[in-house]
Amino acid sequence: MRRSAMTWMDSGGPVTSELTLLVLRLGFLLLLWLFVFAIVYALRSDLFGQRVRKLQPTSDAASPVVSPAANGGGSTGAGSPVGAASGAAAAPLFAAHAPVSAASAAEPNALAPNFGRETATAGAAQRLVITSGAKAGAEFPLGRDEITIGRSSDSAIVIRDDYTSTHHARLMLWNDQWMLQDLDSTNGTFLDGVRVAVPTPIPLNTPVKIGSTSFELRR
């Protein structure tokens, strides 16, 4: 019996078992790290999404300043395009909702803050003016590109407060009219005190409220 046990130990039985256990542990750790990296990648894509161009506020003493990324597609100035992404890239998401027309605004369940007012068109609206909030007084020139608003650093206009979502809302041109679209935010987007449920035309000089910040589109 003693001789058999010695023969089994000499054959490497315990050493083989420890080596197998070590390999299993390393394999488990590798799978665990791969799972963690997959979660981090998914969260990063959800939180930050596609990189966009940022708007820079204008000043009374100087011409509007546009970030270098925004200068790649056109010239700077009061009439230069600024915003988040090209209209072609944004069209599929925006097309999923039908814009509210003046006729549908008369329905009981439709938003109607713009009924009877002058709509902010590409020619009429020249600037976005923040009227309340942390950036009150800031002005942003309007071009023809969409403008994303939210807490994410990739937003064209970054608003960080407890009531603003990562990707909260966006403004974009539809048939030469500026439209407001809520991006499934937690606390909602309000146009003249009415919560926006579908893409809605924005009238000139009408308050839009996102979190604790309000702004208007003006000439």
Q: What is the pLDDT of residue 71?
A: 42
Same domain? For 34 and 73 the reply is no
Same domain? For 14 and 92 the reply is no
Non-local (6+) Cβ contacts of 40 within 8 A are none
Same domain? For 19 and 126 the reply is no
Tell me the residue length of the chain. 219
- Tokens standing for residue 113: 């803050």
Handedness of CA 149, 153, 158, 159 (dihedral sign): positive
Task: Kindly state whether residue 32 falls inside one of the protein's structural domains.
Answer: yes
Q: How do residues 55-114 score in pLDDT, each as one tens digit?
A: 656 655 344 433 434 344 443 443 444 443 444 444 444 444 444 443 343 333 344 445
Same domain? For 79 and 37 the reply is no
Task: Kindly state whether residue 147 falls inside one of the protein's structural domains.
Answer: yes
- What is the share, in percent, of the chain residues with pLDDT greater than 90? 50
CATH of the domain at 208: 2.60.200.20
d(CA 143, CA 127): 9
Residues of the chain with pLDDT under 70: 1-15, 44-116
Same domain? For 78 and 140 the reply is yes
Beta pairing, strands 157-158 & 147-150: parallel
If we measure between CA atoms, which residue out of 218, 133, 155, 147 comes closest to residue 179? 147
Same domain? For 41 and 112 the reply is no
Q: What is the pLDDT of residue 100?
A: 44
Domain count within the chain = 2
Same domain? For 18 and 119 the reply is no
Task: Kindly state whether residue 168 falls inside one of the protein's structural domains.
Answer: yes
